[in-house]
């Protein structure tokens, strides 16, 4: 169980308040790695959408991203994804964490 288990993400009023909560919900390294893989596959699907002109790649990208993330949460982090209560902030958090992993701010 994470340190933020008692925090309701709906009470956080800005992304700046939400992101530390988001990171606390991703303390498990395998969960972070699964998020990274899902985001990477999502970007590949987005690129394929532009290359092929097929809009079917968009839902495929979303499915990849969320499937890997949810496996990370339910299987390894043992919590519920914040996307259930704060979908926009959670989506933003995915990409900020992805950038932070690439830049070395977060351990991969």
> What's the confidence (pLDDT) of residue 5?
59
Residue 1 has pLDDT above 50, yes or no: no
CB atoms within 10 A of CB 37: 16
Residue 2 has pLDDT above 60, yes or no: no
CA angle (88 as vertex; 102, 95 as ends), nearest 5: 5
Quote the mean pLDDT of the chain. 93
Beta carbons of 72 and 57 less than 8 angstroms apart: no
91-106: average pLDDT: 97
Beta carbons of 49 and 100 less than 8 angstroms apart: no
How far apart CA 15 and CA 27 sit, in angstroms, is: 18
Give the burial class of 106: count Cβ atoms within 10 A of its Cβ; 0-12 exposed, 13-18 middle, 19 or more buried: middle
Which tokens is 45 given? 């699907």
pLDDT digit string, tens, across residues 78-93: 998 888 889 999 999 9
> What's the confidence (pLDDT) of residue 7?
84
pTM of the entire predicted model? 0.89
pLDDT digit string, tens, across residues 18-66: 999 999 999 999 999 999 999 999 999 999 999 999 999 999 999 999 9
């Amino acid at each position: 169980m994470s340190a933020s288990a008692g925090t309701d993400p709906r009470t956080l009023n800005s992304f700046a308040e939400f992101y530390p909560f988001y990171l606390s919900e991703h303390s498990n390294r395998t969960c972070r790695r699964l998020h990274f893989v899902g985001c990477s596959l999502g970007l590949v699907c987005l690129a394929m959408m532009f290359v092929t002109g097929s809009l079917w790649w968009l839902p495929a990208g979303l499915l990849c991203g969320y499937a890997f993330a949810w496996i990370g949460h339910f299987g390894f982090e043992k919590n519920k994804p914040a996307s259930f209560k704060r979908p926009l902030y959670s989506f933003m958090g995915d990409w900020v964490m992805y950038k932070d992993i690439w830049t070395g701010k977060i351990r991969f």
